[in-house]
Amino acid sequence: MNKLFSIFLLSIVGTSISQVNVEPINWHNTAKAGLHTEQAYELLKNKKSTTVIVAVIDSGVDCEHEDLVGKIWTNPKEIPTNNIDDDGNGFIDDIHGWNFLGNAKGEMQDYACFEKVRIYRSFRDKFERLKESQVKPEDKNDYKLYLDLKNEIANEVIEYQGYQKQNEQFPILIKYIPQAVGQILGNPNYTLQDLSKWKPKDEEGKELKMLAEAILNGGLNLEIIKEQTEQVDAALNYQLNVDYNDRQFVDDNPSDFSQVTYGNNVVEGKDANHGTHVAGIIAAVRKNNLGLDGVADNAQIMVLRAVPNGDEQDKDIALAIRYAVDNGAKIINMSFGKGYSPFQKEVYDALAYANSKDVLLVHAAGNEHKNIDVEPNFPTPLYSFQKEKLPLFITIGASTKNAKKYLAADFSNYGKIQVDVFAPGKDIYSTIPKSAYKKYDGTSMAAPMVAGVAALLKSYFPSLTMLQIKNNILLSAKYYGKTKQIIPGTENKSRFSELSATGGVVDLLEAVKLCEIEVEKLK
């Protein structure tokens, strides 16, 4: 196998052999390194709860899902389908939230460019015909960024073109690997246990073992390859395509923050897989013998569609945050992020507005296995123009069930300053559209774990502020700081305390205990 092909295969399978696990449904609620959700509910069984609204800024949510019945927020001030803005908030028939990726004709955006592509495109007309000597002194920094992005994008296009050419080999590979491994082991009907005993010494043998194991446990199959192929095609056709007009289905100027009433009320959108998965983690109906048990038993999901297949626009995010705050959300889940943000001040102002209204912002750390203390991930609680972090912003890394060595998921971003705490984000089974279910990995799954925890705590301890709840979540995190763990994206080890501010994994049971103590103090 050539190197590019091997890297691409690893991106599909996702991890080293020792991290491949088939986790049970709801492990994040019950496992030792999970949230201890069921134990927390046992402690709360004699307490009453109040409803808490959680805004999910994402790709959209299937509001008709069987496991989200009664869990979708309904705007009490809006009369459905009368085509009138009954509550006067500027959004017509915003029954369950709003879709910022559409227009009044019902058209909707699906794909979007990466932000670096949009930035490069904005510079292209200005700089592409100029030699460096012709660039004005005041434009030197922009010109350098233009050149850097041009080179970065071109290299990524070449890389994805390589992936695209090799897609056709995958079905053959799925047939070839079991045959090849069967011959090596002398057993065409080998099992996972047989594979565990095989200790190949060369790199090709190690790759074969990893892939054979992935095929046996369902981590690599034709469906996954089809999904990966679609992702590669989307990258080339849309996300990295400098000439793609990614705002053609939205009647606004994404640079003009005074235009605020674009979009429509079709909150499911074109591809609601990601957002529906997030919503289920937070609030799927508990103990109904369907799918999973959501973390929070009395939460309602406000759906704000603002995250396309590509990078979100700063304007959409800023307006979605303000909508959530103005319409009663106490927690905002933000399972998205990007490396560039052209309108940082405008997004910060929206975050600060939420902070001023005692609304908790829960953000996914990102899945590039990088140190975001060094490499930026937006939005952030600490922009370059700030002196202190926003108090009501919490950033979540993804953890696994394997607390001995691989507690930080191999894809998760980390950072002793920027990442506050870890939460389960590997092999998470949750809702997807059409009343279906699927396992996903990502800090996108870890963030709603914490949003659900915050919603549950606010629901049962309404007298506490969201800042008190956030602090209790962090103070009660199960501490793994002294354990040596693999640093995501490397083979090196570090103390877990170096990967986040708390060195811990969220523990709902202990957070409930802290909230009980705090409420007693208030009496």
- Closest by alpha carbon to 228, among 504, 12, 495, 456? 12
Report which of residues 523 and 248 the model is more confident about. 248
pTM: 0.91
Contact call for residues 274 and 335 (beta carbons, < 8 A): yes
Phi-psi region of 200 (alpha: psi -120 to 50; beta: other; left: phi over 0): beta
Half-sphere exposure of 26 (CA within 13 A, CB side): 17
pLDDT of residue 20: 39
380 CB-near residues (< 8 Å, 6+ apart)? 363, 393, 395, 418
Of 108, 89, 127, 122, nearest to 263 by C-alpha is 108
Model pLDDT, residue 183: 93
Long-range pairs, 131-134, Cβ under 8 A, ≥24: none
Q: Answer yes or no: is pLDDT of 11 > 70.
A: no
Which letter does DSSP use for residue 323 in this model? H
What would the pLDDT profile of 300-342 be if each residue is shown by its tens digit? 999 999 999 999 999 999 999 999 999 999 999 999 999 999 9
Closest CA to 359 of 386, 377, 397, 333: 333
State mean pLDDT over 484-494: 95
Distance CA 339, CA 307 (A): 15
Q: In angstroms, how far is the first alpha carbon of the chain from the final one? A: 67
User: What pLDDT, on the 0 to 100 scale, is given for residue 23?
Assistant: 59
226 versus 473: the higher-pLDDT residue is 473
Digit-coded pLDDT (tens) for 183-227: 999 999 999 999 999 999 888 888 889 889 988 888 778 888 888
Specify burial of residue 519 (Cβ count, 10 A radius: 0-12, 13-18, 19+).
middle
Q: In terms of CATH, what superfamily is 35-59+277-522?
A: Peptidase S8/S53 domain (3.40.50.200)
pLDDT digits (tens, 9 = 90+) for 56-107: 999 999 999 999 999 999 999 999 999 999 999 999 999 999 999 999 999 9
What is the H or E stretch that residue 303 is in? strand 299-305
Q: What percent of the chain has pLDDT over 70?
A: 96
From residue 60, how far is each of 114, 321, 350, 432, 472 by CA, in Å? 19, 15, 21, 11, 30
Do 420 and 46 form a contact (C-beta atoms < 8 A)?
Answer: no
* Percent of residues, the chain, with pLDDT higher than 90: 84
d(CA 314, CA 335): 14
Nearest Cα residue to 468 out of 336, 360, 351? 360
Rounded to 10 degrees, what is the CA torsion of 417, 423, 427, 433? -100
Angle (CA) 394-395-397 rounded to 5° is 140
Query: Is a pLDDT exceeding 80 seen at residue 17?
Result: no
Provide the annotated active-site residues. 252, 274, 444
In the chain, where the domains are located = 1-30+113-245, 35-59+277-522
Q: Average the pLDDT over 341-358 and give the result.
A: 98
Q: Are 98 and 90 in contact (CB under 8 A)?
A: no
* Spatial separation of the C-alpha atoms in residues 146 and 126, rounded to whole Å: 10
The confidence band for 14, taking pLDDT boundaries of 50, 70 and 90, is very low
Q: What tens digit of pLDDT does each residue of 32-44 get?
A: 999 999 999 999 9
Higher-confidence residue: 26 or 166?
26
Banded pLDDT at 137 (limits 50, 70, 90): very high
Strands 421-424 and 428-432: unpaired
Length of the chain: 523
Contact 123, 134 (CB under 8 A): no
> Which pLDDT score, from 0 to 100, does residue 40 have?
98
Residue-wise over 453-484: b if at least 16 C-beta within 10 A, else e? bbbbbbbbbeebebebbbbbbbebbbebeebe
User: What pLDDT, in 10s, does the model give residues 394-443?
Assistant: 999 999 998 888 999 999 999 999 999 999 999 999 999 999 999 999 99
Instruction: For residue 17, give the DSSP letter.
Output: G
pLDDT, average across residues 451-469: 98
What pLDDT does 12 receive? 46
